[in-house]
Amino acid sequence: MALLPSCCRHCLPAVTWLLIAMAATTAVASLYNDIEQTWGADHSFFYMDGDGDQTLALCLDETRGSGFQSKEAYLYARYDIDVKLVANDSAGTVTTVYLMPDDVPWEYHDEVDMEFLGNVTGEPYTLHTNIFVNGVGHRVQQFRLWFDPTADFHTYSIVWNPKHIIFLVDGVPIRDYENDAARGVPFPTWQRMRLYGTLWNADDWATQGGRFKTDWTQAPFYAYYRNFSVTPCVPSPGVAWCGDEPPESAWFDQGLDAAALQRSREEHMIYDYCRNPNQNTDQGLPRECTTD
């Protein structure tokens, strides 16, 4: 039996590795300097792409996937990163961009997820978003992307400030989770979070509920990341830091295009936990899904 191709960092030309080494030592700020590989290090590598951008390739084969994290953690910030997803038959694979804290027990952790669920060739990707607060998630909203995310890089962003968690795709808002603490709605407010990226196998649920499994004859699978940036939260004038922003302040409502957000929901949302009673408990809809 012939061996399947495996993830291979040596598949890149030697000159590419020379450019990487030069960039890592001379650049003031670079992807290489801002993130670190966390698992599957032998299944991920940095290289210079055709546009001259320093890029990290994550690889998945039948043995393991790979992942990275930002070197710094932040309490309130905007995180932006460009991603090009696994091409062709990516069923069963999941590429991620998410926020999570360090050293917090799992049952109390906060998390903000963007997960790209692989597709059968010809079918669109699903962008799966979720928010955990104090260890509780089940706040899933899913979207169909309106472009081919495997043909080129696109920018995926998470804005997290004292009033909102906003998900954006190429600057277009697709989801807004508001801090409505006055009504008892949970919101992450105290755990410093890093940005993570991973490529892994989840064929028990990822593609049409697990109906389509990963075709390992198509392996290795690659996802690509570049142009990572973090913009720490800036409070309104006269406020010491973002956590002291008064609830009545409209400072962090600025820049949220309500019309664009509504269009995204109408045109691209395919699942909303607030509209699906099967995922809610006998206690009824979550508080954030109600108006009372």
Catalytic residues: 111, 115
> Pseudo-torsion of CA 254, 146, 275, 282, nearest 10°?
-100
Q: How far apart are alpha carbons 190 and 208 in whole angstroms? A: 35
Q: How, if at all, do strands 193-201 and 269-272 pair? A: unpaired
Q: What are phi and psi of 240, to 5 degrees?
A: -65, -45
Rounded to a whole number of angstroms, the CA Rg of the chain reads: 20
Which residue is it, tokens 């940036």?
229
Comparing C-alpha atoms, which of 180, 152, 177, 154 is closest to residue 167? 177
Q: Which residues of 79-111 are buried (b: 16+ CB within 10 A; e: fewer)?
A: bbbbbbbbeebbbbbbbbbbbbbeebeeeebbb
Do the beta carbons of residue 152 and residue 84 sit within 8 Å?
Answer: yes
Q: How far apart are alpha carbons 45 and 59 in whole angstroms? A: 9
Angle at 259 (CA atoms; ends 255, 262), nearest 5 degrees: 115
The SS3 assignment for 180 reads coil
State the amino acid at position 262 in one-letter form. Q
